[in-house]
Structure 1
Amino acid sequence: MRHILHSTYYLAAAGLLGLITLPALAQEAGTDANESHQAGIAANTESPLPKTITVLVDQGFTFHGIFEAPDDLQGYALSYDNEPMAAYISSSSDYAVIGTLIDPQGNAVMESQLQALVLEPMLEAAWSAFENTRFISEGNDDASHIVYTLTDPNCPYCNALWKNSRPLIEQGVLQLRHVLVGVLSEDSLRKAAAILEADNPASALETHELEFRNGGIKPVEPSEESQALLRKHAQIMREAGATGTPTSYYRDEAGKVQRINGAVSTDQLREILGVE
C-alpha cells in the first residue's frame, strides 16, 4: 500500500532519524504520474553530501545518487535493507524529509528517478547472480520467457506458483528456474539439500511439489557443498531485495528486470509475461 502524507513528512536531521515512510513501487515498474517533473539523474556526485544525508548513511542507509526535484528540492536516492527510498532537501534548509513526493493533485512524482538509481541496478545485479548460481530449470531451453524464482521447499505459496506455472511450461513459452533457499525453517534447509543432492534434482523437485501436502521430499543432512550453496542463495535473496518466497524475476518487453512478489495465478502470469 502506498503511504502518502499530505503535509510534512517525518524529519531526519542533525543525527536524529524519525519514522520512515517507504515509497511503494507497485510491481517494481512504477512511473511518475506527473511527467512534467522528469529531471536529470546523476548516479554519483563529487560534491560533499549534506550532513543530514551523511547521518543517514552512518545509520545504515546506502546512498545511490542525486536527482533534481520540483520547487528547488534536491532528491537523494537511498536504500535501507535493500528497500528504495528518497530523501529531499531544499536549498534553504538543513533538514531532510523521507517519503513519497506528491503534487497538488495527489499524484506521486519522482518514482521513476528512484527506480532508475536504486531499483533497476539492484534487479540487474540479482539477475546476474541468478544466472551465475546453480538453479533447477523446468521447461524448454528455447522458451520465449525465463523466470527465476526463489523457492523454499516448505513454502505453500511456492507450491501454488509451481502449480500455476504448469500450463505455460507445457505450452513451451516459459522456462522456470528455481533458486532453492532454506529460509523458513531448518527443515526447509534439509529438504532443499535433498533436492539438490538427488541424482536428478529436477525430478526430485517435481516429486516434492506433487507430494507437498503430504510433506514432500524426505529431508537429509546437508552436505558442506549444499550448505555453502544455500548460504550463497540466502545472501543473493537479501541483496535482491526479496523479503519472502516466492519472489520471482523476469525481463519485460523493454528488457528490464522486473520483480513479482508472491504467488500469482496462471492468468496473472500470462498477463505479466504477455503471453496468450
Structure 2
Amino acid sequence: MMRHKCPALLLALVSSLLVPVTQAEALPAPIKAIEARGATVVGEFTAPGGLRGYAARYNGQGLALYLTADGQHVLVGTLFDAQGEDLTSAPLNRLVYEPMAKEMWARMEGSTWIADGNKNAARIVYLFDDPNCPYCNQFWHQARPWIESGRVQLRHIMVGLLSSDSAGKAAALLTAKQPEVALMEHETAGDKSMLKALDKVPTKVQEQLDANLALMSELGAVATPAIFYRDDDGRLKMQQGLPQAQGLAEIMGPK
C-alpha cells in the first residue's frame, strides 16, 4: 500500500495550513542534506514551536521533515498533538500521496495491458501478471464473480519475470490476434495451458515488457501478482501476493 512510514515520533501541536515550496526558494541546509540522500521535497507546511514542516518523497513513501527553529537540524517523523492525534498524515496525504496516486494511476493506464471484463465497469483493478505465475492464475479465478457481473475490469500488465520463457509467453499473449481471448484461454487452462512462448520477442514488445517491469519496480512491487486499486476515497493501494477473502472484497468492491 501507498502508506508513509516514519522512523521517529515527535509530540507537539501543528497547524494544517499548507504552503507550497517554490523552485526559486532556497532550501535550508539540513533539508538539502536529506535531498542529497535521495528524497525529493514536494511541499512545505507550517508547524508549531518554531518548526517548519516539509513533505518529501523517498522510495515511493512520504516523509515529514521538521526543521528546528535554529535552522540547523531536521527531525524526520510523525507529529502528534497532546491528545495523541496524528497530525502528519493529512499534509503528507495532500502533498505526497494524492499527487502520487494520480501520477502512478496514469502511468498504469498508459502501460501495456490486456483487458479482462467490461470496459465500462465502475471499478478498474490493475494486475502485474507473469504468464507463469500460479498465484496470478488463482487471483484470476477469484475475480470471476466481479468480472462476470460487469462491475470490475481487470487489466493485466504483462511482465516476463519468473522463468526463462515468461517474456516469450507474455509476448505471445500481447501479439495474439485477440489478446483478450488468448488470455482467457490461458487463464482458464491454468497449469494445463498450451500457451507457447515466442522464440524471438519482437523489439517493440520487448520494450513494452521492459517498461512494464520498470513501472512495477517503481511502484514498489517485487513479485507477482502485484495488484493495484483505488479505495472508496480514491487512494491508491497495493496488494502484494494472493489476497485473502477480506482483502479480496476490499480490492474488488461489492459483487
Tell me which interval the TM-score lies in, with the shorter structure as reference length: 0.7 to 0.9
How far apart, in 2, do the equivalents of 1:41 and 1:106 lie? 21
- Which among 157, 161, 166 is matched to residue 188 of structure 1? 166
1:19 counterpart residue number: none
Give 1:207 shift. Answer: 2.9
Aligned residues of 1:247 and 1:259 also touching (Cα < 8 A) = no
- Report deviation, 1:257: 4.4
Which stretch shows the higher mean deviation, 154-163 or 133-142?
Answer: 154-163
Give unmatched runs, 5+ long, in structure 2. none
**Within-5 A mapping of 1:20-39:** 37=14, 39=16
When residues 185 and 57 of structure 1 are mapped into structure 2, their CA distance, relative to the original with a 3 A threshold, is farther
Letter in 2 for 1:66: E
2:107 to 129, 143, 151: 129
Aligned residues: 249
Aligned residue number for residue 214 of structure 2: 235
Question: Aligned runs of 1:195-206 on 2, under 5 Å?
Answer: 195-206=173-184
**Structure 1, unpaired ranges of 5+:** 9-33
1: CA distance, partners of 2:104 / 2:221: 10
Structure 1 position 44 matched with structure 2 position 21? yes
Q: For residue 117 of structure 1, what is the amino acid of its counterpart? A: L
Equivalent position to 1:56, from 18, 34, 42: 34
Following the alignment from structure 2 to structure 1, what is the Cα–Cα distance between the partners of residues 162 and 66?
A: 37
TM-score by length of 2: 0.82
Q: Verify the 8 A CA contact 1:101 1:108 in the aligned structure 2.
A: yes
Change in CA separation of 1:235 and 1:38 when aligned onto 2, cut-off 3 Å: farther
Percent identity, please.
Answer: 36
Report which stretch shifted further, 192-201 or 40-49. 40-49
- Tell me whether 115-124 or 265-274 shows the greater mean CA deviation: 265-274
Contact 1:66–1:74 under 8 Å retained in 2? yes
> What is residue 140 of structure 1 aligned with on the other side?
118
Give the aligned residue type for 1:44: V
Partner in structure 1 of residue 228 of structure 2: 249
Return the alpha-carbon distance in structure 2 between the equivalents of residues 126 and 5 of structure 1: 27
